[in-house]
């Protein structure tokens, strides 16, 4: 990301921008602004990581082959399902 800005801003431009920010906000507000900016960036990265993990997890779940049903134990009798009679017509 620093490489991208290196082509746009030189040393004097960065100094000029910092001077304007210092004049607009004052020296007392700069630490608060920097802290808020840092917190915002941290939250954004955390949210991005969580979304990426969720997408990766969903992709892994869909690409995994379906599991085979459990094999029946031949020593146990098969279960029967009782069928109920249809309801009487009025």
> Is it the case that residue 3 has pLDDT exceeding 60?
no
Mean pLDDT in residue range 73-90: 60
- Asked if 49 and 56 touch (Cβ cutoff 8 Å), the reply is no
Separation CA 19–CA 32 (nearest Å):
17
Strands (E), the chain: none
Which is more confident, 45 or 82?
45
Contacts of 21 (CB under 8 A, 6+ apart): 30
Q: How far apart are the first and last CA of the chain?
A: 77
- % residues pLDDT > 90 (the chain): 27
Mean pLDDT in residue range 79-90: 60
Token match 């031949």: residue?
74
So where are the chain's domains?
Answer: 2-61
20-69 confidence digits (pLDDT tens): 988 888 888 888 888 999 999 999 999 999 999 999 998 888 776 656 65
- Asked if 39 and 47 touch (Cβ cutoff 8 Å), the reply is no
């Amino acid at each position: 990301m620093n490489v991208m800005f290196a082509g746009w801003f030189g040393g004097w431009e960065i100094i000029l921008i910092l001077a304007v920010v210092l004049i607009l906000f004052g020296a007392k507000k700069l630490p608060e602004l920097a802290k808020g900016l840092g917190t915002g960036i941290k939250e954004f990265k955390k949210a991005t990581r969580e979304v990426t993990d969720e997408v990766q997890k969903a992709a892994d779940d869909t690409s995994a082959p379906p599991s085979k049903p459990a094999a029946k134990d031949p020593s146990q009798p098969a279960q029967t399902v009782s069928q109920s009679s249809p309801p009487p017509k009025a």
